[in-house]
Amino acid sequence: MTDLAVRTTAIPGLLVVDLPVHGDNRGWFKENWQRAKMTALGLPDFGPVQQNVSFNDERGVTRGIHAEPWDKFVSVATGRVFGAWVDLREGSSFGAVVTCEIQPGTAVFVPRGVGNAYQTLEPATAYSYLVNDHWSAAARERYTFVGLHDESLHIDWPIPLTQATLSEADRQHPLLVDARPVAAPRTLVLGAGGQLGAALVNTLPGARGRTRAECDLADPAAVAGLDLADVDAIVNAAAYTAVDQAETADGRRAAWATNVTGLAGLVERARERGIPIVHVSSDYVFDGTAAEHPEDEPFSPLGVYGQTKAAGDALVAAYERHYLVRTSRVVGTGKNFVATMAMLADKGICPSVVDDQHGRLTFTTDLAAGIAHLLATRPPYGTYNLTNTGPVQTWADIAADIFELRGRDRSDVTPVSTAEYGQGKSMAPRPEHSALPPGKIEATGFVARPAADRLREYVAGL
């Protein structure tokens, strides 16, 4: 009896699994799929939702080569098969071939886009496989095929194809040179019309962006209608962020509709298909009484906006395949605090800026790069703080830096308290301290640029 093991092959992501088979005079038993043990050895936690069995009466039945839009875990219940796999995904490994025999002590994990074929070596063979999406006629339209007979593949079939049993459809599949490559799965970015969303679309290879007009999280029908075919990750950069307006009756309803109810629908769609989700969170989930806020600090929001973000975080955290990226003071292309202060400096205005709210800026360049890093390296799921690095500053400190960079005197910025600034205004409460220590994401290999360096570059480019 062999030990459970997972072996790599010449096709990236195609894995051969050695299964222990326990036998005696009554027959044998095996754990054909054991999630905890197999994922610990490197098998993807691919979330199967359907099992299919193909029973073959005769030796020599040959099926394939089909590349399907889902991952599959292949084994046999009885008999033996010769398996052949061809990488039909676009990229450098297109056309790579792997073959091996599958008997009860062997299984193969086949990633989506890799063509699968098998030939039975014994009568009464039951070929079984798990898949992580439900079959449908629409899904079949996305199959890619290559001919079993293609000599360029150099597949040494144990039973010559002239003596094998094939379907007429399998006889007609194209040669590799004419096959349609399977497009690489893409990341779906929601909120692509915002500062961060635009940066994510520009940073993530092949990302598909959806603006609020294309998918409004507050619209259940829009979320239900999202096309998630060939999506391997969802990044949610969409949110209701009008902090002060959220304190009004209409704003409160709108904030909950997007940041909680709509997000719940999105998480459920991700869960149905086993797609990882990246959700962007906020320092406003805390009351700001601590100098810095680690990832595991309990929620303590002060206002409605923070309450909806905290509720949304809890929904996301209940789905095990999540990266919750907590950030603060986001600066990108468009209207933001830095651009506004630079404009005031250029116009000769001397503003009053609060000096009792402390934190670090986060530039969308680094925020998007950090999210791309998480998706590329796939560290353990969970919450990660992500801001630019450097000293903690008040808004007045940052405004003075901007004025200095625009050739104005730092003293042209007047520091005031939040209470003074808010006199006569309808303002939501703000956390006094918003700094988010970045040690957890830095331990995965990503270190954001110092905020002072990014600020200098950003202001120079305005």
Please enumerate in sequence order all residues whose Cβ is within 8 A of that of 219, keeping only pairs 6 or more positions apart, or say none. 262
The burial of 299, by beta-carbon neighbours within 10 Å (0-12 exposed, 13-18 middle, 19 or more buried), is given as middle
Please enumerate in sequence order all residues whose Cβ is within 8 A of that of 59, keeping only pairs 6 or more positions apart, or say none. 120, 121, 122, 123, 159
CA distance 150 to 165: 17
CA distance 309 to 281: 7
3-class secondary structure, 314? helix
Q: Which of 40, 188, 12 lies closest to 113 in space, CA to CA?
A: 12
DSSP 8-class letter at 284: G
Tokens read off for 50: 């359907």
Q: Which of 306, 101, 329, 7 lies closest to 195 in space, CA to CA?
A: 329
Q: Report yes or no: 126 and 118 within 8 Å, Cβ to Cβ.
A: no
Measuring CA to CA, how many Å separate 324 from each of 268, 281, 383? 16, 7, 4
Report the chain's terminal Cα–Cα distance, integer Å: 68
CA distance 139 to 308: 37
Catalytic residues: 66, 129
Q: Report yes or no: 193 and 334 within 8 Å, Cβ to Cβ.
A: no
Element (H or E) spanning 455, and its range?
helix 451-460
Amino acid sitting at position 107? A
Our CA dihedral for 435, 441, 442, 445, rounded to 10 degrees, sits at -160
Q: Report yes or no: 239 and 249 within 8 Å, Cβ to Cβ.
A: no
CA distance 118 to 124: 14
Element (H or E) spanning 299, and its range?
none
Q: Which of 236, 374, 359 lies closest to 309 in space, CA to CA?
A: 236
3-class secondary structure, 61? strand
DSSP 8-class letter at 176: G
Q: Strand pairing partners for 130?
A: 51, 73
